[in-house]
């Protein structure tokens, strides 16, 4: 439940601007001490907090179109959400209706929804590794550490001291670079200022060479993201699940918007209806 | 049934003595021997008198334990801060610790102090939030460390490697400083003062 004195951090990713270069993924791994495993070709066991997916419109050449979807954690809240037309990020006024899929299933309270920031945390030291949250997340944003990262000799010295590295047997995910907010807040305590839009930006936002990622406070009219989510082209992934994610995408291409909500094509929908499936 | 009741009645004074002895021995093992086995000691590089330094400076603890511009806490001052008063050419006192200190000063080497209150890696603690924003005195968590004339040995957990000060000296939390700095203690104070208790407030 959102109150006026609380903020809601969110992200807007312009799919039309994304070239799929993967700089965001690299920046994310570097920022958050995500290691490189022995066999990174094993994509089921490798860890990518921010993964770039490639989709296409399914048409044969020369009508083929491709789009890329960078996918961080969506920081879901659940409940009744505002439509893209309404633009403003809405949260249910009933706290009991709030439902973050991963948070609601965690038996160890290793992940929680922070009402002050709208960020879903992940505390690896508290995680018991049951992977219930991994199964609950509709976005596959959560990753299990199947191995200890084999840091080559000397490399641990290059790790960020602001992010605690994880061990095998626990789950991790994108945190919207929360330690950056902690550092930004530190400064405000000293000089009495407020955390401004540019004081807290995620690593992926800064790294994106085409400026496809925008980050800020969704509820603040002064922030860029607030305006971007009001456009008609804004949408969210799998919106119909009611997870109320705080990562928005924009695309002027209709097929991209349709695919993001997993809309079936007319033909497939008719076939499914005929067979009694769903 | 009758024999059972008889056996109960026959419990002698020696039986009770044995019971008390067992409780005493068990408690001794739990409260005294276990901590002795669990914690190891390391001496600090050399002795340091907080009291004598506090008398020389104007701004209390903040004279040496300062904040950086970005709001982060410097913790234990580096050798450059010591040089503001001490010079490598001449010792200011007669104390044998001063001789040790001069070695570091002359070599311009950082002093490998052992930090009593160092938290595990997963903890984010903002000194600015507590001392500047909430206006806490340093002693509220660190006790009268600033008034101490010597440094006690650094005790650490053999298994985890963490300082004993985090756990606190008293096993049931009744003894005085060093105060316990466990998660429960942080959470308790946050709850009492209505501070946000979400995980990411203190974890990273």
List pLDDT tens digits, range B149-159: 999 889 899 99
Average pLDDT over chain A, rounded to an integer:
87
- Domain spans of chain A, in order of start: 9-275
User: Quick one: closest CA in A to B133, which residue?
Assistant: A189
Task: Report the pLDDT value the prediction gives residue A277, as an integer from 0 to 100.
Answer: 47
| E-strand stretches of chain B | 39-42, 154-157
The rounded distance, in Å, linking the Cα atoms of A61 and A138 is 31
Task: Report the pLDDT value the prediction gives residue A230, as an integer from 0 to 100.
Answer: 84
B128/A189 touch (CB, cutoff 8 Å), yes or no: yes
- For domain A9-275, give the CATH number: 3.30.70.20
Residue B99, pLDDT above cutoff 60: yes
Q: Is B196 a domain residue?
A: yes
List pLDDT tens digits, range A217-261: 988 889 999 899 888 888 888 877 878 889 999 999 989 988 887
The residue of B120, B135, B182, B204 whose CB has the most chain A CBs within 10 angstroms, and thus the best one to mutate to test that interface, is B204
Q: Is B44 a domain residue?
A: no
Which residues in chain B are closer than 8 Å to A121, comparing Cβ atoms? 198-200, 203
Give the model's confidence band at B6: pLDDT under 50 very low, under 70 low, under 90 confident, else very high.
Answer: low
User: Quick one: closest CA in A to B125, which residue?
Assistant: A182
Task: Report the pLDDT value the prediction gives residue B9, as an integer from 0 to 100.
Answer: 67
Average pLDDT over residues A140-145: 96
Q: Is B70 a domain residue?
A: no
The rounded distance, in Å, linking the Cα atoms of A93 and A28 is 33
Percent of chain A with pLDDT over 90: 65
Task: Report the pLDDT value the prediction gives residue A84, as an integer from 0 to 100.
Answer: 47
Facing residue for B133 by CB, picked from A119, A183, A189? A189
Q: Which domain holds residue B157?
A: 116-202
Task: Report the pLDDT value the prediction gives residue A23, as an integer from 0 to 100.
Answer: 96
Facing residue for B121 by CB, picked from A114, A164, A185? A164
Task: Report the pLDDT value the prediction gives residue A86, as an integer from 0 to 100.
Answer: 52
Instruction: Give the largest CA-CA distance in chain B.
Output: 90
How far, in whole angstroms, is CA B10 from its chain's centroid?
Answer: 51
The total domain count for chain B is: 2
Q: How many CB atoms lie within 10 A of CB A265?
A: 12
B198/A178 touch (CB, cutoff 8 Å), yes or no: no
Q: Is B188 a domain residue?
A: yes
A159-168, B98-107, B109-118, B137-146: least confidently modelled range: B137-146
Q: A residues 164-223 near B, CB within 8 Å? A: 164-165, 175, 178-179, 182-183, 185-191
Q: What secondary structure letter does DSSP report for B67?
A: B
The rounded distance, in Å, linking the Cα atoms of A199 and A9 is 13
Peptide bond into B178 cis (omega under 30): yes
Find tokens 């308790």 and name the residue: B188
Peptide bond into A62 cis (omega under 30): yes
The closest of A25, A16, A1 to A249, measured between CA atoms, is A16
The closest of B114, B204, B109 to B162, measured between CA atoms, is B114
Task: Report the pLDDT value the prediction gives residue B115, as an integer from 0 to 100.
Answer: 92
Contacts of B71 (CB under 8 A, 6+ apart): A183, A185, A186, A187, A188, A189, A190, A191, B126, B128
Give the model's confidence band at A87: pLDDT under 50 very low, under 70 low, under 90 confident, else very high.
Answer: very low
List pLDDT tens digits, range A108-133: 999 999 888 989 999 999 999 999 99
Give the model's confidence band at A213: pLDDT under 50 very low, under 70 low, under 90 confident, else very high.
Answer: very high
Contacts of B59 (CB under 8 A, 6+ apart): none
The rounded distance, in Å, linking the Cα atoms of A259 and B40 is 60
A23-37, A89-103, B96-110, B128-142: least confidently modelled range: A89-103
Task: Report the pLDDT value the prediction gives residue A16, as an integer from 0 to 100.
Answer: 95
Measured between CA atoms, how close is B126 to chain A, in angstroms?
Answer: 6
Task: Report the pLDDT value the prediction gives residue B166, as an integer from 0 to 100.
Answer: 84
Give the model's confidence band at B167: pLDDT under 50 very low, under 70 low, under 90 confident, else very high.
Answer: confident
Q: Is B21 a domain residue?
A: yes
Q: Is B123 a domain residue?
A: yes
Contacts of A262 (CB under 8 A, 6+ apart): A238, A240
Residue A166, pLDDT above cutoff 60: yes
Q: How many CB pairs under 8 A join A and B?
A: 74
Which residues in chain B are closer than 8 Å to A3, comparing Cβ atoms? none
Give the model's confidence band at A81: pLDDT under 50 very low, under 70 low, under 90 confident, else very high.
Answer: low
A114-128, B43-57, B84-98, B174-188: least confidently modelled range: B174-188
Contacts of B50 (CB under 8 A, 6+ apart): B145, B146, B147, B148, B149
Whole-complex ipTM:
0.82
Top-ranked range on mean pLDDT: pick from A105-114, B82-91, B137-146 = A105-114
The rounded distance, in Å, linking the Cα atoms of B26 and B16 is 15
């Amino acid at each position: 439940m959102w109150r006026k004195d609380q903020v809601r951090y969110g992200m807007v990713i312009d799919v039309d601007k994304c070239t799929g270069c993967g700089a965001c993924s690299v920046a994310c791994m570097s920022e958050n001490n995500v290691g490189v495993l022995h066999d990174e070709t094993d994509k089921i066991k490798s860890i990518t907090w921010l993964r770039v997916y490639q989709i296409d419109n399914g048409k044969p050449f020369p009508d083929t179109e491709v789009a890329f979807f960078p996918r961080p954690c969506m920081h879901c809240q659940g409940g009744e959400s505002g439509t893209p037309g309404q633009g403003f990020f809405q949260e249910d006024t009933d706290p009991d209706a709030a439902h973050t899929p991963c948070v609601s299933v965690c038996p160890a309270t290793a992940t929680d929804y922070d009402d002050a920031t709208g960020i879903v945390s992940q505390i690896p030291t508290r995680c018991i590794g049951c992977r219930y949250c991994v199964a609950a997340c509709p976005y596959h944003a959560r990753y299990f550490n199947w191995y200890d990262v084999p840091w080559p000799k000397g490399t641990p010295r290059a790790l960020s001291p602001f992010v605690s590295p994880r061990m095998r047997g626990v789950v991790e995910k994108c945190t919207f670079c929360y330690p950056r907010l902690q550092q930004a807040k530190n400064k405000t305590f000293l000089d009495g200022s407020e955390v401004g839009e540019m004081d807290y930006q995620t690593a992926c936002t800064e790294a994106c060479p085409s400026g496809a990622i925008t980050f800020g406070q969704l509820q603040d009219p002064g922030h860029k993201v607030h305006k971007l989510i009001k456009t008609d082209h804004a949408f969210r992934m799998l919106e119909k699940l009611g997870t109320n994610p705080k990562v928005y995408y924009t695309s002027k291409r209709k097929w991209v918007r349709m695919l993001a909500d997993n809309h079936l094509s007319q033909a497939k929908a008719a076939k499914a209806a005929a067979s009694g499936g769903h | 049934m009758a024999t059972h009741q008889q056996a109960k009645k026959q419990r002698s004074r020696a039986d009770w003595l044995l019971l008390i002895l067992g409780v005493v021995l068990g408690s001794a093992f739990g409260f005294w021997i276990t901590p002795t086995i669990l914690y190891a000691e390391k001496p600090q590089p050399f002795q340091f008198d907080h009291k004598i330094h506090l008398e020389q400076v104007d701004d209390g603890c903040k004279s040496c334990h300062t904040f950086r511009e970005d709001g982060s806490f410097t913790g234990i001052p580096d050798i450059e801060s010591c040089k503001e008063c001490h010079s490598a050419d001449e010792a200011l006192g007669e104390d044998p610790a001063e001789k040790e200190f001069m070695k570091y000063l002359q070599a311009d080497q950082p002093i490998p102090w052992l930090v009593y209150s160092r938290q595990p890696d997963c903890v984010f603690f903002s000194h600015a939030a507590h001392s500047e924003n909430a206006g806490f005195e340093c002693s509220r968590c660190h006790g009268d460390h600033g008034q101490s004339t010597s440094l006690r040995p650094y005790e650490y957990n053999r298994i985890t490697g963490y300082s004993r000060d985090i756990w606190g000296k008293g096993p049931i939390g009744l003894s005085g400083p060093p105060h316990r700095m466990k998660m429960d203690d942080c959470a308790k104070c946050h709850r009492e003062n209505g501070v946000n208790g979400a995980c990411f407030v203190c974890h990273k």
